[in-house]
Amino acid sequence: MRKLVMTLVAVGATASFATAKEMSEMDVNADGVLSVEEFAAGHSDVDPAVFAAIDGNEDGLIDPAEYEAATAEGGVLADS
Ligand SMILES: [Ca+2]
Ligand SMILES: [Ca+2]
């Protein structure tokens, strides 16, 4: 039983890592926010329309709080 739980935890961690990249990895110009171009480059498998869904305050940039909300459970970038 204990081994099964450990396996499930490992699978879950791998899956979420594959989807949610660190913002710092994508923030090419290191200004702390993601532009449309930076987001598209980091998430080539994600529809660009998703950017608008993440950009809650509609300033054309994804800030850390918006990105965190998107990758949290239930967010547009969350698994399943
Ligand atoms: Ca940036
Ligand atoms: Ca924003």
Structural domain count of the chain: 1
Distance from the alpha carbon of residue 31 to the mean position of ligand 1, in angstroms = 5
Residue 80 pLDDT > 50, yes or no? yes
Q: What is the CATH number of the domain that holds 55?
A: 1.10.238
Mean pLDDT of 47-75: 94
Distances (CA, A) of 42 to 1, 6, 24, 32, 50: 38, 30, 10, 15, 13
At 29-53, the pLDDT tens digits run 999 999 999 999 998 888 878 999 9
Distance from the alpha carbon of residue 55 to the mean position of ligand 2, in angstroms = 4
Distance from the alpha carbon of residue 65 to the mean position of ligand 1, in angstroms = 14
Mean of all residue pLDDT scores within the chain: 82
Asked if residue 77 lies in contact with residue 68, where contact means CB atoms within 8 angstroms, the answer is no
Residue 79 forms part of a structural domain: no
* Its pTM surpasses 0.85: no
Residue the block writes with tokens 């110009």 = 29
At 16-32, the pLDDT tens digits run 444 567 899 999 999 99
Residue 76 forms part of a structural domain: no
Domain span at residue 33 reads 2-71
Residue 39 forms part of a structural domain: yes
* Cα distance between residue 18 and residue 16, in whole Å: 5
* Cα distance between residue 2 and residue 60, in whole Å: 46
Report residue 3 as tokens: 């081994």
